[in-house]
Structures are given as structure tokens and as C-alpha cells.
Amino acid sequence: MSGAAPEKMVYAFGGGKAEGRSGMKNLLGGKGANLAEMANLGLPVPPGFTITTEVCTAYYANDRQYPEGLKEEVEKALGEVERITGKKFGDPSNPLLVSVRSGARASMPGMMDTVLNLGLNDDTVAGLAKLSGDERFAYDSYRRFIQMYSDVVLGVAHHTFEEILDTYKDDRDYVLDTSMTAEDWQAVIAEYKEAVESALGKPFPQDPQEQLWGAIDAVFGSWMNERSKTYRRLNNIPAEWGTAVNVQAMVFGNMGETSATGVAFTRNPSTGEKRVYGEFLINAQGEDVVAGIRTPQSLTKQSREEQGSDEPSLEEAMPETYKELAAVFQKLEDHYRDMQDIEFTIEQGKLYMLQTRNGKRTAKAALKIAVDLCAEGKISEDEAVMRVDPAALDQLLHPSLDPNAERDLIAKGLPASPGAASGEVVFTADEAERLAQEGRRVMLVRVETSPEDIHGMHAAAGIVTARGGMTSHAAVVARGMGRACVCGAGDLKIEKDGSKFTVHGREVKKGDQITIDGSTGEIFFGAVATIEPELSGDFGKLMEWADKHRRMRVRANAETPLDAKTARGFGAEGIGLCRTEHMFFDADRINVVREMILADNEQGRRAALDRLLPFQRGDFEQLFREMKGLPVTIRLLDPPLHEFLPHGEKEIGEVANALGRDVKDVKDRLSQLHEQNPMLGHRGCRLAVSYPEIAEMQARAIFEAAIAIGKETGDPVQPEIMVPLVSTKKELDLVKDRIDAVAQKVFAEAGEKLVYTVGTMIELPRAALTADKIAHSAEFFSFGTNDLTQTTFGLSRDDAGSFLPNYLRHNILDQDPFVSLDQEGVGQLVAIGAQKGRETRSLIKLGICGEHGGDPASISFCEGIGLDYVSCSPYRVPIARLAAAQASLAAKKRAEG
């Protein structure tokens, strides 16, 4: 052991007190911090100690060597556990047994290693038999320990032991483990030990100290295993955080019929309903409930009845213990002021609490719980707003099954994670990933899932398991990822060769479509139609509170009346970006657009533009009407013109024919318009510089529509006209002069004026750097962070998809910069642009309309530099509203110190 030691490396808990507390998650990990907190609350926590995350970091920094003094601190803490329990580690007559578990800052379910029953050997097992009065239990515990320790610490594969046990049982015609006697387990243990010795060339370690350090090494080691690395990558958890190790006195849920182990949520994690929700298994140990190997029983009588089960609930089987447990739930919820996810064990009628943490929940549950806790007076409105992860709202926007659609129900499982999804059946995670990469929607069907499957779960549209409860791996992970999931569909018989499953005599083959409803647990054959969700109730209330605290406005990027309507339904306060080019593609006008582009001169272009004018005016009228006086920013034509022209031979022929032009003419124009780098080519305001008549037509359509709708509704429309891809003030001036001239003409013709503004997008680095000059002409800026990211990185928006994943994999970039703003680089340009814009025009209106306008982290950045609004796609509007409120509240809190 070497290296500079952190000051304190081990924190003890138990016996009604603890050295740590819940605020020390970074140091003790979530599990360690909450164990300490529960001990401090006087709850029955088996005593133990936590080795800090700093030790993990030091261990890796120092070539997997522990810091000086760790051994002594561990010895001292273990001594304290011995004192509290009255047992001794390694004492054959009264042995202390411990569990060794990981516990990182963020929960990483099932990712890292755990060892239970540590301290058992050929001598102490006899002591355990005597103490428990149950020889069979003692030897069963010992064989479990050998199996787990050998697998996790010594690297002897799990199946080695399963095969030994299966053969042993087969030879004696045993079907269930319950047929095994103490003598049987002793015989199996002897075979296990032989298998270990022959695999490793040395015997299974008998020295408890050696066992303990082996397990501690394994837990720290598991921080860097592939599963953990993948999980961290998917969940943005930095490797530097490290894990803590918790060593805790064992309690046994498998000491007979008065013992049990269970997990519980203090409220329903799927719906948020205020009702204890959980499962338990009698005479079971450790992870048995979560592993989904046996089907657990309900905690409460009510849930048992609802599920139509005959197996008694805990409330019925052990009423006194249940009462005690329910009181603990209440105490923990009141203390943490949030829904708790709890693990407990009952050892011969005595209750022990093994874990509590804020429970993971669906977005629906998060909303309900936040709103309910506020109504119960436990948290304030501000806190309720801060409690819901904006990104999780996406789950609420997931589709559900169309009630009128035909459906062919083939099975039912547990409603593990909401949303409806369909896809083609695959049976392995690798296959799910492979097909999803080809753009296919897949449904991952497994007997059960394990942490090795997470890449496939991530790739799948939905997940089905045949085994496991609501707290099984599949359920927990799917809820976290927002994937629809049906668990424990026990009627599915999945072929081992992964070719099909059968259910009630029906066959469903690999590649067949199925649909699941994760809110009801139903599984259907075929692809069932889905419908979009409607939001109300708790959602509306939380959004109302969010809106009270929000400083920035939220607009939507929309061009069709339908998008505009959806956006308003989600609470958009205007349109921040209407991309007019989308309006040019409609079947009734694309050929006029082409005629305009193919024209040989200005006169020809103007003739075609005259025919386009009524279409554009109609588009804008609909949009203004739909937005009912809310601000609408309309951007002039942006993309290179060749995007509107046909490309294939056949299409070129058809267009030439329709327009009465020679095929050769069309081809000549196409090759004239061809560009090597169209993204950096003849697009944006550069089109208006070359063909000002296009901008003029668009300006006329905007003004005429605004006047018409102002008259029709009595609500004056104040259009905002936005010039794209500006890099110099003079470019903007040229276009703005044309717009202003058109305005004067239209106002004179109509005998009526209106207020309008002309602004620009800031989407090129030069524009950001010279924003003070541009602001002399621009009345508003909208940061086009899609192009700004592209041009700042010199990274093509259209091509980056094929190689960016490598950048993420190698941690060169933490996130795709087209999804979440690169604050360090691109963000700096946005900040400079905002600041320089304000230097010239102090009240200049500032917004963002790149995809980042709907990304919570980017929204928080926008709040920090004081933008006036964010604009995003309609479905992200609620996310943006909540994220903007959270950013405001966080800024207020920081300002208050």
C-alpha cells in the first residue's frame, strides 16, 4: 500500500449513529450516505462501514494500490461492527458475516459486483449452523458464498457451479433446491471447492481477512468493467467519480419462514399514486427479488387482490412487521421529502433496513408526486418545479394505442414502463442494436434482462421479458430510459435458439411485428396504430408553476398551421423560426418554384414569383391566424436552390415535360447550380443578394398577410422578418433595404401601416464576432446554433453522423454538439454575439432557434447569458418551459447566495 492517503477513508454506521450523513453522497456514494442517514434516524440498520470514493480514485491513480493507513481504518471499523453485533469476524463459535457492495454517487443498478455471506469458511459455517439452529441454512449460505465469491472475485464462471448442482440434483431426482438437505449441501460444497482448486490451482480462501480484501478489490475493480463503462457512457457519469464500498453485517432473509426480503416504493413509481408499492419473498436472500427468479408477492393486501394472487401479502402474512415497516416508510418519506425506493430484510421476525434512496420514476409519476407533495405541504411550488427532470417529460409525449385500432392480444405481463411501441421481434441485445442501426424498429424479447443487455435495450423501441417483477432489471432500466416495457409475461415460451416464441399455442417468429402497451402490460400481434398523448391535470399544474418562475419566453420552430397549433397547445408563446423553404415543397407549387429557378433572367423569375405570391401569402395568413397575435419570426429562403430541383434522370424528364422545357436546359441549370460545398455555398442571404426579387416576393407576402389577418381578427400582427446566414452588416443592409422598400409599397397600396421588425440569424462565427456592427441594422438576433456549431467546429451537419459516435466513444466529446450546445466553444460565440449586440442596441431581442433551444442543458446556458427566448420543435416546448423555469430558479438561488 502506498500513495498520499485521503484524510479519512472509512466511515462507520450502526448502533443508532453514523459518521456520515445523506449530504455526503460524493464521498460515500448514494448507498453509503443513505445507510448513514438511516442509522442517524435511529432506524434498524445492520452496522457496517463505507470505504470512500476517494479511495477508489486514489486506487486507480496509484496503479491499483490502496492508500497508506486504509487497512488500519478498515480493521478499526470492523472492530466496531463486531462490538455492536456481539459477533466476531472469523470466530468459529460466533461468526460475524458481512456483505460487500459497491455504491457510486449515482445509482447504477446491477452494474457492479456484490458479495454476500463473506466470512464463511469450513469452521465458521458450523458456528452459523449452531447460532441459527438450522444446519441446512448454514450450508446453503456457505455454498452460495463460494459460488458468488468464486464468480465475482476469483473469476470462476457461475455456470461451473450451476452444472455441479444440476448434476447432483439430477442424480438424486431432485427438482427443487428445497429438496436439498444439509448433507446434500455439504457434498455440493466439497465439489465446489474441488472445482475452484482445479480451476485456480489453489484452494478456495479460508481466511476471512483474505476474503474481505479480495471482495473489496473486486468491487473497486468492477468500477472499470465493460458493463459499468457502458452504463456510465449512456448516463453521462464521469469515471472520475469512483465508487464507494459498503461492508455491512449480514442479516438473513432466508432463515426460514419468518424471514423474508423485499423492496418497496413509498409511492407507485409508474403512476405516482400515493400508496406503498412493493414486493417480497419469504425465505429468500439478497437480490432474489430483483433477479426475478421467483415471482414475488405483494406487500399490501390491496395490491394482492388487484393482481388476483392467492399468495398472502406481507400485510397478511406478518401483520406486526408490516406495521413497523409502514411506519419506517412514512418516516423516511417525511425525512427525505420524496418518494423512497427501499430494500429491507426480515430475519426471524426482526426488521432491518438495507437501503433507501429517492426512487426512480416515470415522468407521469414524477409529476404526480411533485404536485402531491406540494399539496401535502411537504415541498414548495419552486421545489416541485425543480423535482421533475425536463427531459423525462418526453415520456409523457409518447404515443398510446389508438382505441379504435384493431388489436390481436396474445399475452399480458406487468405494466413496467409506459408508452406504446411496436417493432420486429428480436431475441438478443446485439441483434437489437444491429437492426436499429439499420433504421429498423425492434422489440427486444428476453426471458429476463441483465446489465449485459443495456445496449440492446437502448436500441429497442420496447422491451418484453417473460420473467421478473416490476422491480426486475428490465423494469427499472426501461423506466429510466423511457422505453416502453412489459415484464414478467410468463406465458411466453421463448425458444432457446432465438428463432421464435410461442404463447397459448401461437407462434411469433423473429422478425414478426408485435406491439406492446407498457401502461397496461398487454402484448399484441402485429403493428397496432398509436395516437399522440393529451396533457392535462398534474402536467398543467406543474407547467403553470413553472411558467410563474420562468424568465425566458418559449417559442416553437413551426411552419405549418398544424405544427403551430400543436405548439400553442404545448404552450408556445410564438414562433421563433418559420423556415419558409418548407412551404415551397408542396405539390401545388413546387413546379412554380422550379420554374422560377430555371428562369433565364430576372423577368422570368419575377413572372414565376408572381404566381408563387398568393401561395406564400396564404401560408402566412394561416400561420398568423393560428398564432392569434403572438409573435411570429419568418425567415427568408435559406437553402441552396438546387435542393428544389430534381436529380434522377426520370424525375428530370418529368419536370422538363411539366414545365415545357428541354431536358438539356434543366440539366444545364442543374450543373450551373451544382456546388462542391453547398452548406458553405450559395444559400441564406447570399440568395437574396443574387436574386433580391425572391426576398421581395416573400416580404410582400408577409406584409399583405399580416395586414389581412390584422383586419380579420382585429388583432394587429407584428411580423418579424429574419435574414439567414449573415456574416457582414452590409449583406444585411442590402436585404433590409429591399424589405423596407416593399413595406412602403404595400402600406401605400393598402392605405394601412403595421409595425414590423427586421433581424438576423447569428449562425456564422463572423456574425457573432461582429455582432456590434450587425446590431446597428438588426432589431433582433436569433442564434442559429445548428449552423453555428457546424461552422465553428468545421463539422458538416449532414456528414458528422457517421463518425461522431467515435468521438463520443473515445470521450473526445462528452455529447453530440448538435444535440447539446458546446458551451465552451460555440457557446462562447453565442455569449460574445449577445454581449456585442447589446453594446450597440441595449434592448435588442435575443433568442435561439437551433435544435439546442429544446435541450435542457443548453437552455440553462441561454438563461445564464440572458437571452429573451428559446425556440424549439413543438413537442419539446413543455421540456423547454420546465427547463427555462428551472434555470431561472437556479439562477435566483445562486444570486441569493
Q: In terms of CB distance, is 156 or 632 closer to Mg ion?
A: 632
* Residue 849 is a catalytic residue: yes
The DSSP result for 29-84, as a single string, is HHHHHHHHHHHHTT-----EEEE-HHHHHHHHHTTS-PPTTHHHHHHHHHHHHHHH
Q: In terms of CB distance, is 70 or 831 closer to ligand PEP?
A: 831
Question: What mask, x for binding ligand PEP by CB under 6 A, covers residues 852 to 891?
Answer: ----------------------------------------
Give 157's contacts (C-beta < 8 A, 6+ positions apart): 151
CB 298 within 8 A of CB 307: yes
Q: How far is the CB of 464 from Mg ion (least distance, A)?
A: 41
* Packing angle, helices 826-840 and 785-793, rounded to 10: 120
Is residue 678 within the footprint of ligand PEP (CB under 6 A)? no
Site for ligand PEP in 581-640 (CB under 6 A): 638
Task: Tell me how crowded residue 273 is: count the other CB atoms within 10 A of its CB.
Answer: 13
DSSP state of 825: T
Task: Tell me how crowded residue 493 is: count the other CB atoms within 10 A of its CB.
Answer: 13
What stretch of H or E contains 383? helix 381-387
Residues that bind Mg ion (CB under 5 A): 763, 784, 787
545-560: b (≥16 Cβ within 10 Å) or e? bbbebbbbbbbbbbbb
Q: How far is the CB of 572 from Mg ion (least distance, A)?
A: 20
Q: In terms of CB distance, is 271 or 785 closer to ligand PEP?
A: 785
Q: How far is the CB of 871 from Mg ion (least distance, A)?
A: 12
- Which does residue 46 bind out of ligand PEP, Mg ion, none, counting CB within 5 to 8 angstroms by kind? none
d(CA 328, CA 326): 5
Q: In terms of CB distance, is 47 or 784 closer to Mg ion?
A: 784
Question: What are 102's three cell numbers?
Answer: 459497491
The closest alpha carbon to 591, from 644, 538, 515, belongs to: 644
- Judged by CB under 6 A, the stretch of 50-58, 367-375, 779-787, 876-884 that binds ligand PEP is 779-787
Is residue 784 within the footprint of ligand PEP (CB under 6 A)? yes
Q: In terms of CB distance, is 340 or 785 closer to Mg ion?
A: 785
Q: What angle do CA 141, 144, 149 make, to 5 degrees?
A: 120
Rounded to 5, what percent of the chain is helix, strand, coil? 50, 15, 35
The closest alpha carbon to 480, from 564, 385, 358, belongs to: 358
Contacts with ligand PEP: how many residues (CB under 6 A)? 10
Q: How far is the CB of 692 from ligand PEP (least distance, A)?
A: 21
d(CA 66, CA 58): 7
d(CA 393, CA 875): 10
Q: How far is the CB of 790 from Mg ion (least distance, A)?
A: 8
Question: What mask, x for binding ligand PEP by CB under 6 A, covers residues 751 to 770?
Answer: ------------x-------
- Single-letter amino acid, residue 785: T
Q: How far is the CB of 638 from ligand PEP (least distance, A)?
A: 6
DSSP state of 395: H
Q: What angle do CA 138, 139, 141 make, to 5 degrees?
A: 65
Q: In terms of CB distance, is 545 or 818 closer to ligand PEP?
A: 818
Q: How far is the CB of 327 from ligand PEP (least distance, A)?
A: 55
Bridge pairing between strands 408-412 and 522-525: antiparallel
- Judged by CB under 6 A, the stretch of 444-452, 453-461, 534-542, 780-788 that binds ligand PEP is 780-788
- Which does residue 356 bind out of ligand PEP, Mg ion, none, counting CB within 5 to 8 angstroms by kind? none
The closest alpha carbon to 577, from 883, 881, 869, 818, belongs to: 869
Q: In terms of CB distance, is 484 or 761 closer to ligand PEP?
A: 761
- Judged by CB under 6 A, the stretch of 370-378, 407-415, 532-540, 782-790 that binds ligand PEP is 782-790
Please state the φ and ψ torsions of residue 287, each to the nearest 5 degrees. Answer: -85, 10
Report the Cα 389 to chain-centroid distance in Å. Answer: 9
CB 653 within 8 A of CB 688: no
Q: In terms of CB distance, is 100 or 767 closer to ligand PEP?
A: 767
Catalytic residue among 485, 685, 849, 862: 849
Task: Report helix, strand or coil for 501.
Answer: strand
Q: How far is the CB of 670 from ligand PEP (least distance, A)?
A: 23
The DSSP result for 847-878, as a single string, is EE-SGGGG-HHHHHHHHHTT-SEEEE-GGGHH
Q: In terms of CB distance, is 393 or 849 closer to ligand PEP?
A: 849
Q: How far is the CB of 576 from ligand PEP (least distance, A)?
A: 9
User: Quick one: which of 786, 815, 835, 840 contacts ligand PEP (CB under 6 A)?
Assistant: 786
Q: In terms of CB distance, is 368 or 635 closer to Mg ion?
A: 635
Task: Report helix, strand or coil for 498.
Answer: coil
Q: How far is the CB of 724 from ligand PEP (least distance, A)?
A: 7
Residue with the shortest CB distance to Mg ion: 787
- Judged by CB under 6 A, the stretch of 168-176, 473-481, 702-710, 781-789 that binds ligand PEP is 781-789
Catalytic residue among 398, 455, 473, 852: 473
Q: In terms of CB distance, is 26 or 786 closer to ligand PEP?
A: 786
Is residue 850 within the footprint of ligand PEP (CB under 6 A)? yes
d(CA 871, CA 696): 26
Is residue 685 within the footprint of ligand PEP (CB under 6 A)? no
Site for ligand PEP in 547-586 (CB under 6 A): 577, 579
Q: In terms of CB distance, is 39 or 764 closer to Mg ion?
A: 764
User: Quick one: which of 153, 849, 879, 880 contacts ligand PEP (CB under 6 A)?
Assistant: 849
- Which does residue 817 bind out of ligand PEP, Mg ion, none, counting CB within 5 to 8 angstroms by kind? none
- Which does residue 579 bind out of Mg ion, ligand PEP, none, counting CB within 5 to 8 angstroms by kind? ligand PEP
Task: Report helix, strand or coil for 173.
Answer: coil
d(CA 890, CA 869): 17
* Angstrom distances, CA of residue 456 to CA of 80, 428, 634: 45, 7, 42
Q: In terms of CB distance, is 679 or 754 closer to Mg ion?
A: 679
746-775: b (≥16 Cβ within 10 Å) or e? beeeeeeebebebbbbbbbbebbbbbbbbb
Q: How far is the CB of 391 from Mg ion (least distance, A)?
A: 24
Report the Cα 298 to chain-centroid distance in Å. Answer: 28
d(CA 817, CA 822): 5
Bridge pairing between strands 297-298 and 277-282: antiparallel
Q: How far is the CB of 548 from ligand PEP (least distance, A)?
A: 29
- Judged by CB under 6 A, the stretch of 186-194, 402-410, 783-791, 807-815 that binds ligand PEP is 783-791
- Which does residue 849 bind out of ligand PEP, Mg ion, none, counting CB within 5 to 8 angstroms by kind? ligand PEP
Based on its alpha-carbon atoms, the radius of gyration of the chain, rounded to whole angstroms, reads 33
CB 342 within 8 A of CB 266: yes
Task: Tell me how crowded residue 842 is: count the other CB atoms within 10 A of its CB.
Answer: 8
Is residue 785 within the footprint of ligand PEP (CB under 6 A)? yes
Q: How far is the CB of 822 from Mg ion (least distance, A)?
A: 16
Catalytic residue numbers?
A: 473, 849
Binding-site ranges for ligand PEP (CB under 6 A): 577, 579, 638, 763, 784-787, 849-850
